[in-house]
Structure 1
Amino acid sequence: MRSALLLSPLLLCSHLLADPSPKTVTELKAFFAANCVKCHGPDGSAMADGKKLGGRDFTDAAKQAKQTDEEMAKTIRKGIFFGVVMPSFKDRLSDEDALLMVKEVVRKAEKGKVIAP
């Protein structure tokens, strides 16, 4: 009983420690703008100012067909090559948020159309 009383305040405050990850498509677009544009470009084409960036081109349907939504979401969460090639966002996006990012942001990227102004 005593340990339950000691843990009660921690359990009540655990929501404060929870991941404040984005949930809406609008929030995920803003997340993309803040965290992904440097490598994937403002429209997801991995181009900026006529120069090729280091990330994958999300506007190339043939390249995108090579990975399932779940595989892409896993890459977002885990990163690539221990976070050296692409950082991990596991502490900032839940599995569900990463999958929503793929389905509603990445898969809908269009060359020349800024994802999140």
Structure 2
Amino acid sequence: MRMLLLLPTLFAAGALGAQAAPAKTVEGLKAFYAQSCVKCHGADGSAQGPGGKKLGGRDFTDAAKMAKDQDADLVKTIRKGIFFGMVMPSFKDQLSEEEAGLLVREVLRKAEKGKAIVPEGGTAR
């Protein structure tokens, strides 16, 4: 009997501990970028850290390089991850294909050197 009374509590606790999926909005994806991508791609997407230090990720502010990439290829990389002497984790469990596409079109392709990618009213990490 006690176990039956505890089950709803356990389910509720599990639901509270579950990580919420990012919002399917540009602002939600900017928050995702600030949390998950800044370490390698920089606050502005230029793959440069403080003092101009080169980080391990690709430079999204390089228009010539970005023009060569198809959105579908970038989405695939975000969802599957890569390993070419460096590691990029897969974000397939955090972003749907639709969300990854929106991230590419509305956040990464609009990255500007020197302008942090942060949600409205947010700050770069």
Q: Same fold (TM over 0.5)?
A: yes
TM-score normalised according to structure 2 size: 0.75
| Structure 1 gaps, min length 5 | 1-15
CA distance in 2, matches of 1:21, 1:115: 16
Query: Which residues of structure 2 form unaligned runs of 5+?
Result: 1-14
Q: Conserved in 2, the CA contact under 8 Å of 1:28 and 1:105?
A: yes
Stretches (4+) displaced over 6 A? none
Shift, 1:22, TM fit = 2.7
Query: 2:70 corresponds to which residue?
Result: 68
- The residue that corresponds to 2:83 in the other structure is 81
- Whole-Å Cα distance in 2 between the matches of residues 75 and 24 of structure 1? 20
Mean CA deviation greater in 60-69 or 27-36: 60-69
TM-score when normalising by structure 1: 0.80
2:9 is matched with none
Give the CA deviation at 1:65.
Answer: 1.3
CA RMSD across the alignment = 1.8
Q: Does 1:40 align with 2:41?
A: yes
Match of 1:30 in 2: 31
Contact 1:79 1:89 in 2 (8 A): yes
Alpha-carbon offset, residue 66 of structure 1:
1.6
Q: Identity of counterpart residues, as a percentage?
A: 67
CA displacement at 1:64 relative to structure 2: 0.6
Letter in 2 for 1:86: M
- For 1:92 and 1:111, the matched residues in 2 are separated by 26
